[in-house]
Structure 1
Amino acid sequence: MIEVIKVQEKKDLKKFIDFPHELYARDGNYVPELYLAQKDLLNKKSHPFFDHSEADFFLAYKNDTIVGRIAAIKNNNYLEFTGIQSGKFGFFDVIDDYEVAEALLNVVADWQKERGLQHLTGPENYSTNETCGTLIEGFDTPPTVMMPYNKPYYKEFLEQYGFEKDMDLLSYKIKTEDVPDKLIRMSDKILERLNNKGITIRKINLKKFSEEIDKIIEVYNSAWEKNWGFVPMTDAEFKHAAKDMKQIVDPDFVLIAEHEGKPIGFTLSIPDMNMPLKRLKRGRLLPFGIFKLLYHKKDIDRVRIVTLGLVEGYRKLGIDAYFYMKAFEEAKKKGMSFGEASWILENNEMMNKAIENINGKVYKKHRLFKKAI
């Protein structure tokens, strides 16, 4: 018999966070999430998502053993911004048993219907601003930092339940050795042309981190406001995420574009912390995990381009090309073998073309699903 219970106590939340470690224990490509980061993300009292929206977390049991987990999410800002009456599901992990998946999804569908919602979409861990999508291609390599990973049968289970494709998200692999030298040399010419238009590009100043974040927030919400599935981040959400990011960011990989002093674009790339994280047992930093993490940071040989955005009116001037070129120029200098550009909407023709122009190849796909309830 399958029983699905709502997480209400601290001990249940710990089980919710730890379940993937059991599920993927024999999977060589699995990378554990940091326990403290997950605990913070799920904290209804302190995480800024819960200032405006709600979510409940559920565990599935079979014969007194945890066999799955899921979150039911009502993102009020998404509902207001898009007008789409769609609830979300996220944090979805399950053993290879469709009946368990069905039981978890039924609970979420009922939860959403109780709140008057007509559709169910996901997986999104609150929104597309966080980890989202089900991996459907590219199971042969570990995920990069802040990218989801799952069992191949998830797609089959979701489709069996009645979900259909909503949007595919593409991940490109770009080997630093494959980026044409002539393109990197072109970056100086592009920058000169931009400077003549009053546009400057600089690295983030970590000594003025708070001021820089205020500038980036404005660009972020403006640059993505017309993108499929987007919902603006509140100042509190953005600053909360930025605070965590500051611990791992390399200023050489964060560029800000300005026009006559006004921010018009930025790009953020992160050295792939999943490489050392893979060595942490159950995502614990204590007592000795922190030393493993610091020691193995030197082994990182890839970078992920997490986000790149330009305010409308500045999108066909070559700024995006310059951002990509500089990211791979820095990666080469640091001895990195490749970079990942992800996730890119499959219908974002301009961005996909820019990556293909530097010999990027799609090597992973994630899918977001939708279903009427």
Structure 2
Amino acid sequence: ELFDYLKKECKKHNCKYIEGSYTPYDPDNRRGILVEGFEYPPMIFTSYNPPYYPTLLENIGFTKAYDTLALRANIPLNKPRMEKLANFVQRHLPALKLETLNPKEWKKQGQALYDIMKEASTNLNLSMAPSAKFVQDYIKKNRFFVKEDYVAIAYDKDKPIGFCAMLPDYNSVLKELDGKINIFKFLKAKKQIKACRGFLQYVIPAYQDKGVVIALYNLLSTNMLKNKNEHFEASTILEENIKSTNLVQSFEGSEIYKRYRIYHLEV
């Protein structure tokens, strides 16, 4: 009945096409419905739905518009190889500078993240750059979850050219606490986090084939190893975004382990 009402309202307003699902308040808002990987728990700021959801939508008449992927990989222990690649990038971009988040510089760095997202947003990363204020507010609002050395920004001289952002998987902590907040148990469980999630990765077009992401991942993997993380999830990536998928698949133990689907319906 709900979908019948939806189709009725769409026709009433001369809307001939339905697509989703989307989450308007989430910057990573074009993930869709989980269709593969139900055996794995959701990582921080990702969604989960029961296995019957895809069947329900398909029985109503919805079909695939496109898929997005979640990949899992081990954090590289073979640092000499990655450092060698990062040094190669540095030699070819001598003015390349990397920094992690600094609470004293959030306004400036928030503007840098916005500038990068605005210039790098394309149909392949399925993102519409939010406002600079939104980025700054998002960092402040989620500062409890944001780990400063898990967000790396790349500059060519003073020009921001790319960034990667990871989050520790606090979902595993909440699961350990059985949903009951206890600050002492939380702080203890926090030290046991073994995974993190890469949820944002942007490089402006002029630098996309120059190894900037390798340099960023080299810094982040060093920081993740310091915190005793063992693996990470990269999500969500449009299935047609071969560059991003290939990058993650170059890591040891990588696999596509979850698949989400955006559905559409002609009304």
Is the TM value for this pair above 0.5?
yes
Counterpart residue type for residue 164 of structure 1: T
2:8 aligned residue (89, 105, 110): 110
Report deviation, 1:225.
3.3
In structure 2, what is the Cα distance between the partners aligned to 1:275 and 1:372?
Answer: 40
Identity %: 25
Matching of residues 1-373 of structure 1 within 5 Å: 103-126=1-24, 129-131=27-29, 132-176=31-75, 180-196=78-94, 198-227=95-124, 229-279=126-176, 288-290=181-183, 292-359=185-252, 360-373=254-267
Computing the radius of gyration from Cα coordinates, the structure with the larger value is 1
Structure 1 unaligned regions, length at least 5: 1-102
Q: Is the CA contact (8 Å cut-off) linking 1:273 and 1:297 kept in structure 2?
A: yes
Alignment RMSD = 2.3
Q: Which amino acid aligns with 1:189?
A: N
Instruction: Note if contact 2:73-2:232 (Cα within 8 Å) is conserved in structure 1.
Output: yes
How many angstroms apart in 2 are the aligned matches of 1:266 and 1:117? 38
User: How far off is 1:137 after superposition?
Assistant: 1.1
**Alpha-carbon displacement from aligned partner over 1:50-78 (angstroms, at most 9, x marks no partner):** xxxxxxxxxxxxxxxxxxxxxxxxxxxxx
**SS state of the match for residue 44, structure 2?**
coil
> What per-residue deviation string (whole Å, max 9, x for no partner) do you get for residues 3-32 of structure 1?
xxxxxxxxxxxxxxxxxxxxxxxxxxxxxx
Query: Aligned partners of 2:62 and 2:12: how far apart in 1?
Result: 20
- Size of the aligned set, in residue pairs, is 265
What displacement does 1:179 show?
A: 5.2
1:306: Cα distance to partner? 0.9
Cα displacement string for residues 176-216 of structure 1 (whole angstroms, at most 9, x for unaligned residues): 2x6544432324413532542x2222212221112210111
CA distance in 2, matches of 1:155, 1:318: 38
TM-score of the two chains, using structure 2 as the length reference: 0.89
CA contact (8 A) 2:69 2:239 kept: yes
Preserved CA contact (<8 Å) 1:128 1:230: no
Name the amino acid aligned to 1:367.
R
Give the distance between the partners of 1:116 and 1:314, measured in 2 at CA: 43
* Counterpart-to-counterpart distance in 1, 2:140 and 2:16: 35
CA–CA distance in structure 2, aligned partners of residues 144 and 291 of structure 1: 22
1:119 Cα offset (Å): 1.3
CA contact (8 A) 1:180 1:358 kept: no
